[in-house]
Structure 1
Amino acid sequence: MNNDLNQDSDLVRKRVRDQMRDPVRDRDLVVGLDAGGTRTRAVLASAVDGRVLGQGVAGPGNALTVPVPLLTDHLAEAVARAVPEADRARVVAVAGGFAGAAETSPDEPGRLNALAALTAALRRLGIAADSVGVSSDIEAAFASAPGAPADGLALVAGTGVVAMRIRDRRCAVTVGGDGWLLGDDGGGFWIGRSAVRAALRMADGRGGPTTLADAVGRALGVPIGALPYAEDRPYAEDLPYGGPAGPAGLGGLDGEGGLGGVGGRDGVGSPSGAGGRDGGGSPSDAGGPNGVGSRDGVESPRSGGDGPNPAVGPVSADASASASVSASGASRPARERLPAEPEWSPDRRAAYRMHLLPAVMAEPPIHLARLAPLVAEAARHEDAVARAILDEAADHLLEPVRALAPREGERIVATGGLLGPEGPLTALLSERLKAFGLTLDWVADGCRGAVALARLGHGGPPPTSRTT
């Protein structure tokens, strides 16, 4: 009898403890990973409602360029920081969006590397998830849009450019992403190269005056005395708008110092991490299967921080950030403060070219992407040449979208700093998309989408609420 009473008392006490326990800790947990070329981010979330409970950051996670043993270490480190040891037994699903990974075929190298590394990392941490999924970083970014959409269009515009049609949360069609040598028109590299070309054309007389000559020359180390507006006065006093555009990467397109990171998650410009399929680019940007690019370069114009960033969208021409509007000229009076033709002697022009050309050639071509913020800055101050460059870039971004034959009202999920809330091409492209009845939904990265995919992998309903 006494034993029965003791057992009943124990059951009552257990029920009371269970009722008092933090309900979040009793739920199933999921982990979402965004593995790019410069860092790997892990997010721990509730499988029930997607609420973020923890996060961790570690080193690069490009599935093609990071050796599998090192990739395993980085994944294990990020997940360990996100998931307390006491909670690891409750992780039921893990999903990762990897630069350099895709699911175009069962034996796709990047996908196999990512899956092998992720499986080993989870085993090391004692996480026996029922569902472990791998996708590309672009697929994860697409799923980061509100409601975790299954179908639609994705547009990446960072160091490079690529557009995709997503069906059932997998890439069905890819347009662009051919790398800086063969494509990626309108991306950060293309804009930076256009700035140098404009500077050289001004120097040899083929082009009109532009403050880009000063800004580009300064960024590439041209002596002050050879700059077109330098004369004998301090540099800042000579610019028509009162000061330099700033060092390359100012304002950045990737939130980590600008496109000059050269962008992107991999530091050489690619969410695929220096990536792409050949290690030189990225299926997502300046890269593509053979390029050297980045979407992220361009991860986002966010100011940094390791926490997940919520999607921001839709972004329209009317609601886009002031930086974009200024770049398009929409928020300024209808006048242009063109710089006057400087007294730039033939000797100084020759000296300018003599210093500029070797400086450009001394670095990998993709590094020109770091000059893209200078064009945005000059356009904000109504430099006609800079504004023309951005207008042409927006025209180029429209081309891959049109090639995907978008349907009116179809969702376009955009990522990359050129199209972020303060991206220089946001308003310009949004205006062009109006003719197709399309708007942009911008997302910062793939963490939120990876969490959504993990929840779906666990058999949950399509997420409808924010996870960050």
Structure 2
Amino acid sequence: MGNELNQERQGGSSLVVGLDAGGTRTRAVLATAADGRPLGEGAAGPGNALTVPVPQLTEHLAEAVGQAVPEPVRDRVVAVAGGFAGATDAAADEPGRRNALAALTAALRRLGIEAGPPVIGSDIEAAFASAPGAPADGLALVAGTGAVAMRITDRRGTATVDGDGWLLGDDGSGFWIGRAAVRAALRMADGRGAPTVLAELVGRELGVPGDVLPGGASGGAVRRLSPDVVQCGAEGASREARREAVPPASGPAAAGGQPAGPARTGAAGTGSPVDRHPLPPHDDTPWSRLHREAYRRHLLPAVMAEPPIRLARLAPLVVEAAGDAVALAILDEAADQLAESIRALEPRPGERVVATGGLLGPGGPLTSRLEARLQTLGLPLDWVPDGRRGAVALARLAHQGRT
């Protein structure tokens, strides 16, 4: 990429910048305006236009763009487009859009880039445009820490389902899965729920003393898993190992023998699956009531001491425990929730669904499950890693519209 940039410095062709500004980091790409060939990249801190103060957002944008665009070629940048978490292009006075526009305009001015008004959209719109051919219409789905589905019409989001945050929504997300794991552990501890290895895995992750875990310090609950799943947990559950440990979505769910397709999803769709489909609360694990009470006393403060969204980090534990009936029920219900979000957008058979986020990538724990559910709706699923390519495509389209 460095050699190509050196050639472009001498060639004098027009350049564009695409930005993918998400809740965790901001990434910028410098590309040729003619064919979108990437020439440089940069990264900085979070870019959520609603939660990051404008001065700090300006700093992150300036840092990312500054890394991607060397000073000698900044006068050749003809268009800039950014997809921002917390922003949309639906209305000019939308708060997130207003913040993103102010911050990006200030950052470009600071860097001496005069490319005309930047194009501002959502990170979901940019991710959708990252699909092959930079499509203008279809459905987008994000399933990572949070979850949201959106209908895209003429490259703009026109209908949104979920994305309502940890308190009110994000059903099927990494947060949702992590919270379901903790709920399952607590329900086993107090006698309301089915026995599950998640009680031990969650307890260990959150620092519960080993002598109050199910089976005591010996870790008997983990030994009830198949050897390959235990090995998966011992090695940190690599993405490849997790893929092998998760059965495909087709066929009956392990919990209750219910079909895996969207028809399983209830109308409410808001609680944990272990609440709505409990297994008989019979538990032969040597776990006394005294130890169960101690477990709860340690677990609850550990959860409450952190921001709720941090529960998303427990989602991999559910994948590690995929031989466990409760864990399987959680993963199946998460896929049901995502399919229901797509269904709420009233898709037409054959309509494109572009997905992004760690739960749905190659080897992601919900990929095959969701594909099976969307097949029943006649919907193909494409996956993109992020919105950088789409942001570049939007910048190129903006340049073409101005010439």
Q: How high is the TM-score relative to the length of structure 2?
A: 0.83
| Matched residue, 1:349 | 292
Per-residue CA deviation, residues 117-143 of structure 1 (Å, 9 max, x unaligned), is 211221222211145211111111111
Q: 1:222 to 1:239 in 2, by over 3 A?
A: farther
Per-residue CA deviation, residues 53-111 of structure 1 (Å, 9 max, x unaligned), is 00111222222222222222221221111111111111111111111211222111211
Q: 1:208 to 1:234 in 2, by over 3 A?
A: closer
Q: 1:329 to 1:378 in 2, by over 3 A?
A: farther
Distance 1:335 1:67 in 2: 46
Per-residue CA deviation, residues 283-320 of structure 1 (Å, 9 max, x unaligned), is xxxxxxxxxxxxxxxxxx7xxxxxxxxxxxxxxxxxxx
Q: 1:196 aligns with which of 160, 178, 182?
A: 182
| Matched residue, 1:174 | 160
Give the paired residue count. 367
2:15 aligned with 1:72: no
Q: 1:195 to 1:75 in 2, by over 3 A?
A: same
Distance 1:79 1:365 in 2: 32
Confirm or deny: 8 A CA contact 1:189 1:372 kept in the other structure. Answer: yes
Q: 1:25 to 1:71 in 2, by over 3 A?
A: farther
* Structure number with bigger Rg: 1
Q: How high is the TM-score relative to the length of structure 1?
A: 0.72
| Matched residue, 1:284 | none
Shift of 1:365: 2.4
| Matched residue, 1:152 | 138
2:73 aligned with 1:87: yes
Pairwise mapping of residues 387-402 of structure 1 onto structure 2 (< 5 A)? 387-402=328-343
Shift of 1:23: 8.8
What secondary structure, in the 3-state scheme, does the structure 2 residue paired with 1:417 have?
coil
What secondary structure, in the 3-state scheme, does the structure 2 residue paired with 1:119 have?
helix
What secondary structure, in the 3-state scheme, does the structure 2 residue paired with 1:31 have?
strand
Confirm or deny: 8 A CA contact 1:186 1:392 kept in the other structure. Answer: yes
| Matched residue, 1:162 | 148
What secondary structure, in the 3-state scheme, does the structure 1 residue paired with 2:41 have?
strand
Q: 1:385 to 1:57 in 2, by over 3 A?
A: same
Shift of 1:353: 1.8
Confirm or deny: 8 A CA contact 1:230 1:238 kept in the other structure. Answer: no
Q: Where in structure 2 are there 5+ consecutive unaligned residues?
A: 1-6, 256-281
Distance 1:244 1:210 in 2: 18
Q: 1:167 to 1:450 in 2, by over 3 A?
A: same
Q: Where in structure 1 are there 5+ consecutive unaligned residues?
A: 1-20, 253-300, 302-320, 462-468
Distance 1:38 1:344 in 2: 40
4+ aligned runs moved over 4 Å, structure 1: 21-24, 234-239, 241-247, 329-332
Shift of 1:340: 8.1
Distance 1:350 1:72 in 2: 49
| Matched residue, 2:391 | 450
2:371 aligned with 1:430: yes
Q: 1:62 to 1:208 in 2, by over 3 A?
A: closer
What secondary structure, in the 3-state scheme, does the structure 2 residue paired with 1:65 have?
coil
| Matched residue, 1:259 | none
Pairwise mapping of residues 32-111 of structure 1 onto structure 2 (< 5 A)? 32-111=18-97
Which structure's residues are more often helix, by fraction?
Answer: 2
Per-residue CA deviation, residues 236-271 of structure 1 (Å, 9 max, x unaligned), is 984634548759xx559xxxxxxxxxxxxxxxxxxx
Confirm or deny: 8 A CA contact 1:325 1:331 kept in the other structure. Answer: no
383-392 or 194-203, which deviates more: 194-203
| Matched residue, 1:312 | none
Q: 1:240 aligns with which of 221, 225, 231?
A: 225
Percent identity over the alignment? 68
Shift of 1:452: 0.4
Q: 1:70 to 1:23 in 2, by over 3 A?
A: closer
Q: Which residue type is aligned with residue 208 of structure 1?
A: A
Distance 1:423 1:237 in 2: 23
Confirm or deny: 8 A CA contact 1:324 1:426 kept in the other structure. Answer: no
Shift of 1:182: 2.2
Distance 1:229 1:64 in 2: 46
Q: Which residue type is aligned with residue 212 of structure 1?
A: L
Q: Which residue type is aligned with residue 423 of structure 1?
A: G
Q: Which residue type is aligned with residue 172 of structure 1?
A: T
Distance 2:185 2:104 in 1: 47
Q: 1:87 to 1:372 in 2, by over 3 A?
A: same
Per-residue CA deviation, residues 410-453 of structure 1 (Å, 9 max, x unaligned), is 10011111111121111111101111111211111111110000
Confirm or deny: 8 A CA contact 1:97 1:137 kept in the other structure. Answer: yes
Distance 2:287 2:231 in 1: 18
For the aligned residue pairs, the C-alpha RMSD in angstroms reads 2.9
